[in-house]
Homo-oligomer: A and B are copies of this chain.
Amino acid sequence: MRISEFQKIIENIYFQKDSKRGLMEAFAWFVEEVGELSRELRSGNNEVNLNNEFADVLAWLSTLASLVDIDLEKAAGKYSQGCPKCHKIPCICSENRITDR
């Protein structure tokens, strides 16, 4: 499934509700799902639950993108040519990871 296809699916299912809810409330829901993902990552080995929580976080991330007119697949292109900073695969940056800040 393409990233753009997933974003479109989530819009079709939820955008009507999500747009009424507004961005900040959607962000709160997103963070709630991040918390549930955290719990599953810590408790660790239930594959069904992990799949569910990753799906939910991805769905809410997609919702947030839709609410501010961001194409998640286009955004993901940042990484398509390797590390955005050192341009290598694998990354050879001296820092641990790029944060663009």
Q: Which residues of A contact B (CB under 8 A)?
A: 1-3, 6, 9-10, 12-17, 21, 23-24, 27, 29-34, 36-38, 41-42, 44, 47, 50-59, 61, 64-65, 68, 70, 72-80, 82-83, 88-91, 96-101
Copies in the complex: 2
A60 to B58, CA, bound (A): 11
A77-B1 contact, Cβ under 8 Å, with A50-B68, A58-B72, A61-B61: yes
Majority SS at the chain A contact face: helix
Contact between B12 and A90, CB atoms less than 8 A apart:
yes
Query: Which B residues touch A15, using CB under 8 A?
Result: 90
Query: Which B residues touch A33, using CB under 8 A?
Result: 99
The residue on B at minimum CB distance from A81 is B9
Contact between B52 and A100, CB atoms less than 8 A apart:
yes
Query: Which B residues touch A38, using CB under 8 A?
Result: 27
Chain B: minimal CB distance from A5 (Å):
9
A75 to B49, CA, bound (A): 10
